[in-house]
Amino acid sequence: MIDEEIAKKARAVFLGVAIGDALGATTEFMTTHEIKAKYKIHKKMRGGGWLGVKPGQVTDDTEMSLAIAQAILTEEKWDLRAIADNFLAWMRNKPIDIGATVRKGIRNYRLNGDLEVPINHWDAGNGALMRMAPVAIFTLGDDQLLTRYSLEQAHLTHNHPLSDAACICIGKMVHAAILGADRFQLHAMVRELIAEHKTFRFNNYKGLASGYVVDTMQTVLHYFFSTASFEECLIGVVNQGGDADTTGAIAGMLCGAFYGLESLPKQWLSKLDKQVKIEIETSSDTLIRLSPWIAKGSHIHELSGDLWDYHDQGYVVAITTNGKVSNTGRNVMARGTAKQAAEHFPTLPETLGALISTSGNHVYDLGNRLVSFPVEHSPWEVPDLHLILQSCRELRTLADNNDWQKIIVPRPGCGGGGLAWKEVKPLLEQHFDERFRVINAVKQ
Ligand SMILES: [Mg+2]
């Protein structure tokens, strides 16, 4: 995907927040019955609501996102104190709306200079989640950075495991969607969240759309996965009432990333506060330019989960291998992904052993959408960075020749091999393009 398309997706993410915020402000704190009685279906930028906003006017969700964005743009880097200062300046400007937990957190910073509120088990609001757009855009291409910055910005006001998990999950989904993930891949990411925190389960959606981060996530996910366009999803979400501006903002962020800029309904976009629209467009353009994906030309897109789920989804899977062939002519596949592959495909050690014996330790197409990816010469040696680089080059060539579009590689040499990801990643960056994914956790 060329950079221009990525930049457009980034705009869509941030504009999506503002659209959802402005649209939802009308129905915030209303019940579904009240909304129905008053509007039948609310689907216009009409303003009003309990805050009495103008049509297209945004609230704290967008304003706090812009406060984060402005801090990054001014410093040209992540600077948590600058973000806290912007939050404080924003609060002093008497915003149209401010959540209680947000106010408490900013006060805490003002009084003590603290960049982190204490863990509070009674507050799992959606206030940190609603401002994830600039973080996701700025960290595109680096999941670890996303996780770190998500938590840092969240903990300025919200420090709760469920808020943390939701921020990271939505951030990763936005990353993946910007880079072209399909519905199934995004759904797999949610399943991972639910495996950690069952409370986020959203099948059998009960219609709760409060500011509790679990209700918020369920609302957004329910409508995202049961609708087929930006417009349809957003209408569903804001007509659910409750914390409609924030559920709208988060749905807009995700839908923007998934459906792209052209999907934003013109009748909504044209009503959006002009100044806010311009500010969002310029900030998202700069944020994406500063992101690892664009700035470092890093096209390493990282995923987590089970490697074999991706195999089921049609990915070509690289299995990290060594060059050792046993007396019986079989490649030694005793560990990690190689072991798993040999369990799934019992003839594999023999096939690869024969190839290595005749042609050496290289990347081979092993059939069944599997390729070898040598990281070490034998299972008793440490992984070899030169060999990994050679494997990257060979895999890239093989992908080109076979026109493979989706290839997934475990972090080579980083599991049992003991290499650090930061030393391996630059090697992959030399050869991998947007067709490649790197997976972190491999379940044993
Ligand atoms: Mg709001």
What are the pLDDT digits (tens) for 99-115? 999 999 999 999 999 99
Query: What is the residue type of 207?
Result: G
Is the pLDDT reported for residue 185 higher than 90? no
- How many angstroms is it from 232 CA to the middle of ligand 1? 21
Distance, in Å, from the CA atom of 45 to the CA atom of 245, rounded to the nearest integer, reads 12
| Whole-number percent of the chain with pLDDT over 90 | 83
Q: Which of 388, 441, 378 is closest to 419 using CA atoms? A: 388
CA of 149 to the centre of ligand 1 (A): 22
Q: What is the pLDDT of residue 443?
A: 44
Residue 79: exposure state from Cβ atoms within 10 A (0-12, 13-18, ≥19): middle
76 C-alpha to ligand 1 centroid (Å): 27
Q: Which of 38-42, 198-202, 436-440 has the lowest mean pLDDT?
A: 436-440
Share above pLDDT 70 across residues of the chain, in percent, rounded to a whole number: 98
Distance from residue 28's CA to the centre of ligand 1 (Å): 8
pLDDT score of 2: 59
Q: What is the pLDDT of residue 444?
A: 39
Does this chain's domain 3-295 share its CATH topology with 301-439? no
Kindly indicate whether the domain formed by 3-295 is annotated with CATH number 1.10.4080.10.
yes
pLDDT, tens digit (0-9, with 9 covering 90-100), for 195-245: 999 999 999 999 999 999 999 999 999 999 999 999 999 999 999 999 999
Residue 216 CA to ligand 1 center (angstroms) comes to 13
CATH superfamily of 301-439: Leucine Aminopeptidase, subunit E, domain 1 (3.40.220.10)
pLDDT for res 105: 96
**HEC sequence for 346-386:** CCHHHHHHHHHHHHCCCCCECCCCEEEEEEECCCCCCCCHH
Q: pLDDT tier at 377 (50, 70, 90 boundaries)?
A: very high
Q: How far is the CA of 247 from the centre of ligand 1 (A)?
A: 9
**What does the alpha-carbon distance between residue 199 and residue 214 come to, in Å, rounded to a whole number?**
7
- How many A from CA of 407 to the centre of ligand 1? 41
Distance of CA 376 from the midpoint of ligand 1 (Å): 53
Q: How confident is the model at residue 60 (pLDDT cuts 50, 70, 90)?
A: very high
| In the chain, domain spans | 3-295, 301-439
* Å from CA of 25 to ligand 1 middle: 7
Query: What pLDDT score does 298 carry?
Result: 64
Ligand 1 centroid – CA 102 distance (Å): 11
Q: What are 201-212's pLDDT values in tens digits?
A: 999 999 999 999
- The answer to whether residue 14 scores a pLDDT higher than 70 is yes
C-alpha of residue 60 to centroid of ligand 1, in Å: 5
Going from the Cα of 107 to the center of ligand 1, the distance in angstroms, rounded, reads 19
Cα–ligand 1 centroid distance for 59 (angstroms): 5
Closest CA to 337 of 319, 318, 361: 319
Structure-token pair, residue 150: 């998500």
**pTM of the predicted model as reported, rounded to 2 decimal places:** 0.76
Poorest-confidence range of 26-30, 42-46, 346-350, 436-440?
Answer: 436-440
